């Protein structure tokens, strides 16, 4: 009996490449950040995003990042031949993202000439109106990383804040009251985050995937299970399909609680996979 030919309806990967991505954890140490985007205090790496985009879409697909920052998702989409849109609340970061995208286009040349990579300055909480105003096409895939609550403003972050201030880099995302990173109450933060992601549903194609990269948060001597809470709450709107654990093994370790109490160095993130069903 002859073997059935491999039919790949999701992406353009070979069976070997597909299988490699199915591993539930991976190590990814980002390359050094370019000087221009160092200003953003929590940028996630284009190299990581590209791997996810290539798995969850085919060439020519449409990718959306509702919290685009300095444009990592859009740069990654350009590199692998996908159209992309990003929404960014902070006008400074939105403009920086446009500059980074323009530089990437110049490097890619003809390969990126016909690809859309549009940064929209606006509030992700108003995604329905923004999508209508900017004529967003149906979205094949969402990948994003939200603020990890208000951890950039938490006690214990002073050392990093001082270093970044000394280098004239941003310590917080913004002072905008609409910025989720400025919400002090955990439940209010979680409610707002779930509302934003749930509102994406009408924009997504049926069975489109949504990847959210997030950490659980330590604050005030306890852990807030942000990744797990988000999985549970957002699972009421989408099917929570799986998770991948992103580990970093080149992070400097600190002796938190040494000789007194267990406090881990958290060097992993949860990449939660949802599907629009």
First to last CA, the chain: 35
pLDDT in tens, 37-84: 444 445 578 999 999 999 999 999 999 999 999 999 999 999 999 999
- 35-74 in b/e burial notation, b at 16+ Cβ within 10 A? eebbbbbebbbbebbbbbbbbbbbeebbbbbbbbbbbbbb
Distance CA 64, CA 203 (A): 10
Model pLDDT, residue 152: 64
Instruction: Output the 3-class SS for 131-185.
Output: HHHCCCCCEEEEEECCCCCCHHHCCCCHHHHHHHHHCCCCCCCCCCCCCHHHCCC
Domain boundaries, the chain: 43-150+189-275
Classify burial at 31, counting beta carbons within 10 Å of its beta carbon; exposed 0-12, middle 13-18, buried 19 or more: exposed
pLDDT at position 87 is 98
Sign of CA dihedral 21, 45, 204, 102: negative
Whether CATH 3.30.450.40 fits 43-150+189-275: no
pLDDT for 149: 77
pLDDT digits (tens, 9 = 90+) for 147-159: 887 676 565 544 4
pLDDT below 70 — which residues of the chain?
1-3, 33-43, 150, 152-174
Q: What region does 144 belong to: left with phi over 0, alpha with psi -120 to 50, or beta?
A: beta
Is residue 120 a contact partner of residue 130, using CB atoms and an 8 Å limit? yes
Q: pTM of this prediction?
A: 0.88
């Amino acid at each position: 009996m002859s073997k059935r030919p491999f039919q790949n309806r999701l992406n353009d990967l070979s069976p070997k490449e597909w299988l490699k991505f199915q591993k539930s954890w991976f190590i990814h140490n980002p390359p050094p950040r370019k000087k221009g985007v160092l200003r953003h205090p929590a940028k996630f790496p284009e190299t990581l995003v590209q791997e996810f985009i290539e798995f969850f879409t085919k060439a020519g697909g449409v990718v959306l990042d509702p919290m685009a920052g300095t444009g990592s998702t859009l740069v990654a989409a350009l590199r692998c031949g996908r159209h992309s849109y990003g929404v960014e609340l902070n006008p400074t970061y939105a403009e920086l993202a446009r500059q980074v995208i323009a530089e990437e286009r110049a490097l890619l040349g003809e390969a990126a000439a016909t690809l859309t990579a549009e940064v929209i300055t606006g509030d992700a909480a108003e995604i329905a109106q923004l999508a209508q105003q900017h004529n967003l096409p149906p979205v094949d895939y969402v990948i994003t990383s939200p603020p990890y609550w208000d951890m950039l403003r938490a006690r214990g972050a002073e050392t990093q804040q001082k270093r970044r201030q000394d280098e004239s880099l941003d310590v917080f995302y913004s002072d905008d009251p609409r910025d989720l990173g400025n919400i002090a109450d955990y439940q209010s933060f979680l409610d707002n985050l779930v509302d934003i992601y749930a509102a994406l549903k009408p924009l997504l194609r049926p069975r489109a995937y949504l990847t959210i990269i997030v950490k659980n948060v330590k604050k005030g001597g306890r852990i807030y299970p942000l990744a797990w809470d988000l999985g549970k709450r957002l699972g009421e709107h989408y099917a929570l399909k799986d998770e991948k654990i992103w580990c970093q093994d080149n992070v400097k370790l600190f002796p938190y609680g040494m000789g007194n109490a267990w406090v881990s160095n958290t060097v992993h993130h949860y990449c939660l996979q949802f599907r629009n069903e």
